[in-house]
Amino acid sequence: MNLIKYRYIFFFISTVLTIVSIAAVFIYGLKPGIDFTGGTLWQIKLTNTDLAQTNADINEKIKNVFENELNVKNATVYPESESQSYLIRIGHISEEQHQQYLTALKNKFGDMEELRYETIGPTIGKELKGKAVWAVILVILGISLYVAYAFRKVSYPVKSWKYGIITLITLFHDVIVSVGALALLGWKFGVELDTKFIVALLVIIGFSVHDTIVVFDRIRENLLLDSGRKDLKEIINDSVRQTFVRSVNTSLTLVLTLLALFFYGPLSLKYFVLLIMTGTIIGTYSSIFIASPSLLFFRNK
């Protein structure tokens, strides 16, 4: 495997991935979840099995009840086939309104079970948003400090801070692609940017960095052992080859558990798991194929 020889192909792939991701965010946008904007998420299951209508039909009818009878605009209703229930999204409502709407729905569709009901006021939403932003800032700060610490020792022929810069560039690459994936999921399946996604993003950040650090540690170790005898290209190639199996196996075990959760785990974690999986795969790819060859650009002349 000669990684350096084909490095431009990988750079090209990553550039395309990044551009596509940014474009996806701009075209489809990110739908903020109710925990950031305030609003109501309501999951109901109709227990009256006499309803012979198809799902889509009931979907429309639920929407109609809200828009025409209850005068609630901007109600969105998604059917959820696996639990045979419906997800309703409306603005923040009071408990009286909740009961009023429930009665209206029961009048129309017969008895139903409330699987989940969440209503979040705008103040709480603002708070959660603030906390999420802080968590992201602090994690990036904490990780950057750690990267600076991990690469504090000066090494030749690549200055230590350059390892740090590349680690962070790789991190942003992984984050941008993951956010792009969310934009696509939002467009296709209505997945929202909520607290769960922020958590997924932070886990991806942690993973991306630790993968890159392991590869870079090996490069520095080999530089100390072989400098003078081999040139930087060869050392990078060797190091990546030596850590390749580890990188792949580690993400593979993580991906295996995530796949199990995706297919067999609870529905509400599905997209959370999918995003961490995307980030894990991208993070592994970038630490091998992007981070290491990038060192060549930063070599001291």
Partner 1 sequence: MGVKRPIFLFFIIILLAITAVFFVYPKFSTPFDWLAKKLPWKLGLDLVGGTHLIYEIDMNQVAGVDRDSVIAGLRDVIEKRVNLFGVAEPSIVTAKEGDNYRLIVELAGIKDVKEAVNQIGSTPLLEFYETSEVGTSTQFIPTALTGRYLKGSQIDFDQTTGVPQIALQFNDEGAKIFEEITGRNVGKLVCVSIDRQINDNDCATVQEKISGGKAQITGRFTPDEAKRIVSRFNAGALPAPINLISQQLVGASLGQESLKKAIYGGFIGTLAVMVFMIIYYRTRGIFASLALLIYTALTLAILKLFSATMTLSGIAGFILSIGMAVDANVLIFERTKEEIKKGLTKVSAIEEGFKRAWPSIRDSNVSTIITSLILYFFTTSFVKGFALTLLIGVLVSMFSAITITRTMMRVFVKK
d(C-alpha 59, C-alpha 184), whole Å: 23
Check residue 205 for interaction with partner 1 (CB under 8 A): yes
Is the C-alpha dihedral spanning 78, 82, 85, 88 positive or negative?
negative
d(C-alpha 207, C-alpha 201), whole Å: 10
Binding mask 106-135 for partner 1 (x = CB under 8 A): -------xxxxxxxxx-xx--xx--xx-xx
Q: Residue 268 Cβ, how far from partner 1 at the closest point, in Å?
A: 7
Cβ-proximal residues to 35 (8 Å cutoff; 6+ apart), any chain: 120, 124, 125, 128, 194, 195
Determine the interface stretch with partner 1 among 2-10, 20-28, 49-57, 93-101 (rule: CB under 8 A).
93-101
According to CB under 8 A, which one of 48, 54, 94, 100 is a site residue for partner 1? 94
For partner 1, the closer of residues 22 and 259 by Cβ is: 259
Q: Residue 135 Cβ, how far from partner 1 at the closest point, in Å?
A: 5
Is the C-alpha dihedral spanning 221, 227, 230, 232 positive or negative?
positive
Residue recorded with tokens 């060869």: 234
CB 293 within 8 A of CB 3: yes
d(C-alpha 72, C-alpha 105), whole Å: 13
The structure tokens listed for 180 are 């792009």
Check residue 267 for interaction with partner 1 (CB under 8 A): yes
Q: Residue 163 Cβ, how far from partner 1 at the closest point, in Å?
A: 12
According to CB under 8 A, which one of 53, 256, 296, 297 is a site residue for partner 1? 256
The structure tokens listed for 271 are 């997209």
Nearest to 251 by CA among 168, 139, 174, 150: 174
- Amino acid present at 63: K
Q: Residue 117 Cβ, how far from partner 1 at the closest point, in Å?
A: 4
According to CB under 8 A, which one of 109, 207, 271, 289 is a site residue for partner 1? 207
Determine the interface stretch with partner 1 among 58-66, 228-236, 262-270, 293-301 (rule: CB under 8 A).
262-270
Is the C-alpha dihedral spanning 103, 109, 111, 116 positive or negative?
negative
Nearest to 52 by CA among 113, 114, 115, 109: 109
Q: Residue 13 Cβ, how far from partner 1 at the closest point, in Å?
A: 25
Check residue 196 for interaction with partner 1 (CB under 8 A): yes
According to CB under 8 A, which one of 235, 236, 276, 291 is a site residue for partner 1? 276
According to CB under 8 A, which one of 90, 176, 213, 236 is a site residue for partner 1? 213
Polymer length of the chain: 301
Q: Give the bridge partners for 114, in sequence order.
A: 44
The structure tokens listed for 1 are 């495997």
Q: Residue 254 Cβ, how far from partner 1 at the closest point, in Å?
A: 4
Determine the interface stretch with partner 1 among 15-23, 69-77, 223-231, 269-277 (rule: CB under 8 A).
269-277
Check residue 95 for interaction with partner 1 (CB under 8 A): yes
Check residue 224 for interaction with partner 1 (CB under 8 A): no
DSSP H or E segment with residue 118:
strand 112-120
Which residues in this chain contact partner 1 in the complex, by CB under 8 A? 43, 83, 94-95, 98-99, 113-121, 123-124, 127-128, 131-132, 134-135, 138-139, 142-143, 146, 150, 195-196, 198-199, 202-203, 205-207, 209-211, 213-214, 217, 242-243, 245-246, 249-250, 252-261, 263-269, 272-273, 276
